[in-house]
């Protein structure tokens, strides 16, 4: 899908929200059925599926009318809409938005029927020993890792729920032989399948196999343009060389590739060189991961950036994003705030960890509303994580277990978890005073890591500088106490 087609579909989602907000349309959409049924109706509209009976024929004509009316009313060409919906991943995403609005109405930020994206920490096994590892990974499988049959059952539940994108992470997902079976099945459902990996195992034949089973995006971690810095962070000599080779092999196999860099005081001054390297390697995306002191990261808490340093990083990323040369993102929800300031000047909006929108001039006033729809931190609202044993958490970096897929049922937990429901209500966060709370919301994992409260302050932002200074002095006091 081209960028302009993507923007049109995103614009349509924004306008569908306005059209579908009324109670009559919401009750009609609820009657259309489950996420899978709605996805099929959208496929019929796009011309890639056939109705199997009279009911489907009738319902597909109804959904066609709603989509055609919305498209013409808001200047989206029907052809580009149908084109966008030919991708099964887009159909799954739009069905989820339709049902989210039908069930919850218009909310700020928007609540969804199922997570748009799930990150699955597929295994705890890993061949590296990274200092900032949130998973405390090791070379051996955890005793409670799911069996292959159990993993396939998890996938079946995600498919039924209508999850649009599934990212395999870990540990190192490529260390698990089950990965190849489960990822292939996931791609067959039409989900957007991606892999977050250290890249060291991606030999040319592995890259080709990833492409062949339907993986669409590979995100490879690289901490520095300097091999020695990366290797010392990753705990293994030669890790940088192999990761860079993994990037080249993935590109050569025709995969979309991103570089992920966890930004700390050690490497943040090297970011311009990292971005240069990302461009030389011709990757499609560069993502600066927000450092979160959880897992082994707790031991290097003093490496966290100050609010001022973090804004420097975000400004640098945003200027790259705006230049159009590199899709540069951050997992800090503050990136949405930084990007919002650029939208008025014709720049892009980056309201999630993985999407950017160039808002057409005639719809600039929609920019803020669309940002509030997507809403910055997605934990427990448009995204969640699953651990190697089937446990469900709001985010890979936020280690609070709210249920287990096999014991409690995925969708049941998504709809009924008390913590998830609290995370969806920004007016009860520490951030409730802030005008950006619906577009940013702060990183809930950082709030939990620093204050033990997932609704507490994220000490990253300009409003919380005093809190940051208090944290710095308390860390210094602890270090002095330990050294005596
Ligand atoms: S107070 Fe919260 S919502 Fe506002 S900018 Fe800071 S982290 Fe974001
Ligand atoms: S808690 Fe939210 S902002 Fe933080 S890493 Fe997770 S999804 Fe991103």
pLDDT score of 77: 78
Q: What angle (nearest 5°) sits at the alpha carbon of residue 242, between those of residues 199 and 128?
A: 65
- Cα(136) to ligand 1 centroid in Å equals 29
Tell me the ligand closest to 380's alpha carbon.
Answer: 2
- Cα(194) to ligand 1 centroid in Å equals 29
Going by pLDDT thresholds of 50, 70 and 90, the confidence category of residue 2 is: very low
Burial class (CB in 10 A: 0-12, 13-18, 19+), 211: middle
289-310 average pLDDT score: 90
In this predicted structure, the answer to whether residue 366 has a pLDDT above a threshold of 60 is no
Q: What is the pLDDT of residues 436-474, one digit of tens each?
A: 999 999 999 999 999 999 999 999 999 999 999 999 988
Going by pLDDT thresholds of 50, 70 and 90, the confidence category of residue 256 is: very high
Q: What is the pLDDT of residues 32-61, one digit of tens each?
A: 889 999 999 999 999 999 999 999 999 998
Read off the pTM.
0.92
Rounded to the nearest angstrom, the gap between the alpha carbon of residue 115 and the centroid of all alpha carbons in its chain is 10
pLDDT score of 374: 78
Cβ of residue 336 lying under 6 Å from some atom of ligand 1: no
In this predicted structure, the answer to whether residue 483 has a pLDDT above a threshold of 70 is no
**Residue 134 and residue 292 in contact, taking contact as beta carbons nearer than 8 Å:** yes
Q: What is the pLDDT of residues 391-428, one digit of tens each?
A: 999 999 999 999 999 999 999 999 999 999 999 999 99
Residues with CB under 6 A from ligand 2: 331, 333, 353, 377-379, 383, 395, 397-398, 443-445
Most confident range, picked from 128-132, 170-174, 234-238: 170-174
- State percent of the chain over pLDDT 90: 64
- Cα(379) to ligand 2 centroid in Å equals 6
Going by pLDDT thresholds of 50, 70 and 90, the confidence category of residue 482 is: low
- Cα(290) to ligand 2 centroid in Å equals 9
Cβ of residue 447 lying under 6 Å from some atom of ligand 1: no
Cβ of residue 441 lying under 6 Å from some atom of ligand 1: yes
Going by pLDDT thresholds of 50, 70 and 90, the confidence category of residue 79 is: confident
pLDDT score of 133: 63
Q: Whose CA is nearest to atom 2 of ligand 2?
A: 377
């Amino acid at each position: 899908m081209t960028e302009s087609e993507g923007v049109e579909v995103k614009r349509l989602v924004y306008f569908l929200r306005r059209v579908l907000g009324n109670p009559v349309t919401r009750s009609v959409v609820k009657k259309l059925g489950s996420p899978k049924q709605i996805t099929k109706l959208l496929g019929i509209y796009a011309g890639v599926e056939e109705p199997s009976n009279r009911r489907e024929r009738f319902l597909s004509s109804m959904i066609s009318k709603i989509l055609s009316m919305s498209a013409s009313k808001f200047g989206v060409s029907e052809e580009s809409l149908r084109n966008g919906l030919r991708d099964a991943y887009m159909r799954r995403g739009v069905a989820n938005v339709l049902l989210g609005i039908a069930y919850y109405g218009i909310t700020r930020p928007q609540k969804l029927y199922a997570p748009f994206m799930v990150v699955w920490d597929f295994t705890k096994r890993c061949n590296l020993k990274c200092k900032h590892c949130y998973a405390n990974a090791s070379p051996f499988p955890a005793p409670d890792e799911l069996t292959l049959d159990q993993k396939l059952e998890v996938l079946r539940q995600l498919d039924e729920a209508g999850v649009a994108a599934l990212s395999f992470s870990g540990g190192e997902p490529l260390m698990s032989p089950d990965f190849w079976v489960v990822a292939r099945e996931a791609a067959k459902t039409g989900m957007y399948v991606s892999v977050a990996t250290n890249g060291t195992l991606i030999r040319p034949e592995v890259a080709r196999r990833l492409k062949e089973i339907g993986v669409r995006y590979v995100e490879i971690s690289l901490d520095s343009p300097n091999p020695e810095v990366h290797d010392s962070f990753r705990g293994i000599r030669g890790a940088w060389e192999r990761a860079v080779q993994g990037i080249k092999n993935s590109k050569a196999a025709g995969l979309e590739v991103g570089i992920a860099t966890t930004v700390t005081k050690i490497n943040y001054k090297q970011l311009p060189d990292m971005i240069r390297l990302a461009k030389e390697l011709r990757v499609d995306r560069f993502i600066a991961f927000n450092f979160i002191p959880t897992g082994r990261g707790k031991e290097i808490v003093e490496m966290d950036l100050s609010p001022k340093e973090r804004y420097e990083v975000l400004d640098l990323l945003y200027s790259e994003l705006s230049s159009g040369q590199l899709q540069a993102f951050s997992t800090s929800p503050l990136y949405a705030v930084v990007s919002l300031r650029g939208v008025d000047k014709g720049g892009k909006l980056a309201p999630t960890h993985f999407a950017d929108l160039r808002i057409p001039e005639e719809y600039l006033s929609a920019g803020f509303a669309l940002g509030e729809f997507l809403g910055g931190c997605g934990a427990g609202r448009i995204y969640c994580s699953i651990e190697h044993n089937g446990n469900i958490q709001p985010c890979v970096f936020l280690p609070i277990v709210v249920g287990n897929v096999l014991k409690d049922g995925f969708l049941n937990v998504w709809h009924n978890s008390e913590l998830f429901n609290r995370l969806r209500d920004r007016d009860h966060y520490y951030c409730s005073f802030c005008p950006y709370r619906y577009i940013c919301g702060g990183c809930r994992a950082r709030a939990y890591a620093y204050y033990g409260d997932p609704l507490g302050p994220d000490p990253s932002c300009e409003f919380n500088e005093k809190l940051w200074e208090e944290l710095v002095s308390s860390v210094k006091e602890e270090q002095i106490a330990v050294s005596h």
